[in-house]
Amino acid sequence: MKPGTGRIYISRLPSPYRRPVQAMCRRILRQYPNTAAFVVIGSVADGSWAPDSDADLVWVISGRRRKKWHDELDYDYEGVVELVTMNLTSLKEEFAQHSPMSRSIQRGIVLYDPRGIMARLRQVRLGPPTREWMDKWWSFFSHRLDWGMDSYRQARRMHRRFCRDRCTCQITEVLTRAVVNLARVLLATEGVVAISKAGMRPVSPAVLRGPRLREAMEIALKAHHEKRDLALPEAAELAYLGRWLRKRLAGILGQPA
């Protein structure tokens, strides 16, 4: 059965992901029958997945989700399926801005598309990400970098005071996400579109020309993939990379809004 029929079409998914993805889609449809589409993106869609990879499931809804949708769906952020949620308006914005997400969706595995929305969007010709998209992400993740840097500085102070024989400091993954996404914006300013974490590895040297910067980027991508907090030495390297990215992007895009 093909997408567009109202059925959940999972046969193109790698076998380890079929049951958990189908189960999540069914739970969503029971609670939100106004769902417009499901698309799997990222490493599971492009074949670069590893045994510990998540299935990134784009859930497009007509209307709004209820406040407690996480509880309604029994959604586990640490589980196999990671939801990327958007409504029809935000989906249209992604394509209007030629964002990396719009490219991911075009290249993704469509599971459910009863209105043919994804079939039409696959025909849209995408160019480089627009300046509007770059400015929006630069501003958003610059503020997230501030939060991550605050976490790092607080952990460093606590480390000096309390860690003696063994360090147990953990720094929030907000720092990781900020660094990865600011690197994605910098790549976009060079005309390089990275649509997945795995896809960032071969293209990052185009903008990260020093070995320390590249090593810090590898730490960030690995921690992001594992969805974990950072140890203090890792956070120190990501803080170094984050400051460097901020300086470069401010020189190209100006100060964030």
Is pLDDT of 92 > 50? yes
pLDDT more than 90, % of the chain: 78
pLDDT in tens, 96-121: 999 999 999 999 999 999 999 999 99
pLDDT at site 128: 93
Four-point Cα dihedral 70, 171, 176, 45, nearest 10: -40
pLDDT at site 168: 80
Is pLDDT of 235 > 90? yes
Answer whether 59's CB lies under 8 Å from 83's CB: yes
pLDDT in tens, 37-83: 999 999 999 998 989 899 999 999 998 899 999 999 999 888 899 99
Band of pLDDT at residue 164, cut at 50, 70 and 90: confident
Q: Which residues pair with 108 in a beta bridge?
A: none
Instruction: Name the pTM for this structure.
Output: 0.90
Band of pLDDT at residue 199, cut at 50, 70 and 90: confident
pLDDT at site 1: 43
